Amino acid sequence: MRLRALDHVVLTVTDIDATLSFYERALGMRRVSFGGGRFALAFGDQKLNLHQAGNEFEPKAAWPTPGSADLCFLIDGSVDAAADELRALGVLTETGPVERTGARGPIRSIYVRDPDGNLVEVAEQIATGP
């Protein structure tokens, strides 16, 4: 077997509407509804499926817990501009900009928190080489 891509991640949340609103407003994700009243947030070719804490869909993680995720999203453009946009929306930057190492090399990141306290890293890829 050879893995090709990450399709989706499940976030267990305390308030589906608050989570949808935050990710739509702050990060420009698209709300998706599917299969019997379920919700997700789509971006690019991936999505975040949402599970309501205490009412998760089966199968689920052994200990689904709101606020336990640490996510990193790559953006087009600069994190400086992203920080300005988030600040204008009332979303505070917790840390950054700082340099980190992403899956494909160096990145420059800022960190914010979603309504459940999940750590959300927003990063720009840093060009390397000629």
Q: Are 83 and 89 in contact (CB under 8 A)?
A: no
In the numeric block, the tokens 């509407």 are attached to: 17
Candidates 56, 58, 85, 121; catalytic one: 121
Spatial strand order in the sheet of 95-102: 70-74, 119-125, 105-113, 95-102
Distance CA 107, CA 126 (A): 5
* Residue 121 a catalytic site member: yes
Three-class secondary structure of residue 84 per DSSP: helix
Rg (CA), the chain: 15
Q: Which residues are catalytic?
A: 121
